[in-house]
Amino acid sequence: MRRLLAGFLTGSIVILAGSYITGIEEGPWGSAHARSDLGSGKSFLCPSPEHHDGDAIRCGSKGRSMRLYAIDAPEMPGACRSGRRCTQGNAFASRDHLAALTKGRSVSCHVLDQDRYGRKVVRCFADQMDLSCAMVHDGYAVERYGKLRC
């Protein structure tokens, strides 16, 4: 009985240590979620990703929208401020393509920086596929504000 308990405790410690090192925590029902102390360099799982446009991601219905690293997608109608160089294209098609890339997949992100609006700049992957690279490769965004290595 003691060996069984010791094995259980050792396994639990290893799992908790791994979660701490990767910056990923388990939720109360076993689903991973982002830690509340996300800063630069933290990795996290993004459950139920939502997209307002083709270069942003929000993890679930709570929380703030985050900017995908090194890409710029077409702006939604009325969002391109006067004097700004906005990416040409269909904003709805771009958003829908990004949503299709994440739908039904395990999405993980890594915080790289913060933009001038206070949003986290993240590099996100859907089942190992880099979302920024896929959006540029598929023609729904352009590389801007950073250098992609796809």
Q: Which residue has the higher pLDDT, 117 or 19?
A: 117
Please give the torsion angle defined by the CA atoms of residues 60, 57, 150 and 148, in that order, rounded to the nearest 10 degrees. -140
3-state class of 113 per DSSP?
strand
Q: What mean pLDDT is predicted for residues 9-13?
A: 36
The pair of three-digit structure tokens given for residue 69, joined into one six-digit string: 């690293």
- Say yes or no to pLDDT of 70 above 50: yes
- Answer whether 133's CB lies under 8 Å from 72's CB: no
Residue 24 has pLDDT above 70, yes or no: no
**Between residues 44 and 16, which one has the greater pLDDT?**
44
Task: Give the model's pLDDT for residue 144.
Answer: 96
With a CB cutoff of 8 Å and minimum separation 6, the contacts of 71 are 54, 55, 132, 135, 136, 141, 142, 143, 144, 145, 148
Q: Is residue 115 very low, low, confident or very high in pLDDT (cuts 50, 70, 90)? A: very high
Does the structure show a pLDDT above 90 at 6? no
Is the pTM for the entire model greater than 0.75?
Answer: no
pLDDT band at 111 (very low <50, low <70, confident <90, very high): very high
